[in-house]
Amino acid sequence: MTRDRQALSDPKAMRALAHPARLMILNRLGAEGAATATEVAEIAGITPSAASYHLRMLAKYGFVEDAPPRGDGRERVWKAVDAPLSVGVLPDDQPEVRDAKVLLMDVLAREADEEARRALSNVGQEPEEWRDAARFSRYRIRVDAQELARLNAEIEKLIEPYFARDRSQEVAPEGARVAEAQIKLFPVAKRVVPGLPTEDHDAG
């Protein structure tokens, strides 16, 4: 069964999360498990002290929490909270809440696009089996709002057993690695029609 998702509604929390370094840190903790500020700093391209600050901000709004200490316990260990996150604009959202949601969704979309571009630029270096398995698909569908919402829930239920945060390397099949599933379901917005070019558009 799909677990309940933590629906974001606090504008301050969403604005705190809408930061590229914090999203990288949260993704790292979710995909690979607990880590220290020093360990997440490298992947985010920041100093350990900056990573520690970002982790404290993520903890302030409930996105990460303390993990069991290691060794002598000198360095603080962090983990992502267990509840998956969800963000979507609702009809009764106040303007401040709606604006914060749109900001966060825009940052998430940009990060997802960058992840896809990195994958495409690296496709030539991937083993044949991974090249064959990867897909970049785009479909136009005709649905009403209820069908779109139901389709999203069905897709999420389908991929949930493979969530990296819940499926450790020890449980997954040999050769398994972290992959990304990007699902974007949205009503198509009307495109501005540019009109026909003039006959002498390339003259001169």
Model pLDDT for residues 68-97, shown as the tens digit of each residue: 998 777 889 999 997 667 788 888 899 999
Q: What is the predicted pLDDT for the residue at 83? A: 67
Q: What is the pTM of this model?
A: 0.74
d(CA 171, CA 179): 16
Residue 136: Cβ within 10 Å count: 9
Tell me which of 3.30.1360.120, 2.20.25.90, 3.40.50.720, 1.10.10.10 is the CATH number of domain 6-136: 1.10.10.10
Predicted pLDDT at 4: 46
The residue length of the chain stands at 204
Return left, alpha or beta for 140; rule: phi > 0 is left, psi -120 to 50 is alpha, else beta. Answer: beta
| Extents of the domains making up the chain | 6-136
Angle between helices 37-44 and 48-60 (to 10 degrees): 100
Give the mean pLDDT of the chain: 88
Does pLDDT of 41 surpass 50? Answer: yes
pLDDT per residue over 180-196, tens digit each?
999 888 999 988 877 77
Spatial distance between the Cα atoms of 89 and 76, rounded to a whole number of angstroms? 35
Averaged pLDDT for residues 155-176: 91
- pLDDT above 70 for 45: yes
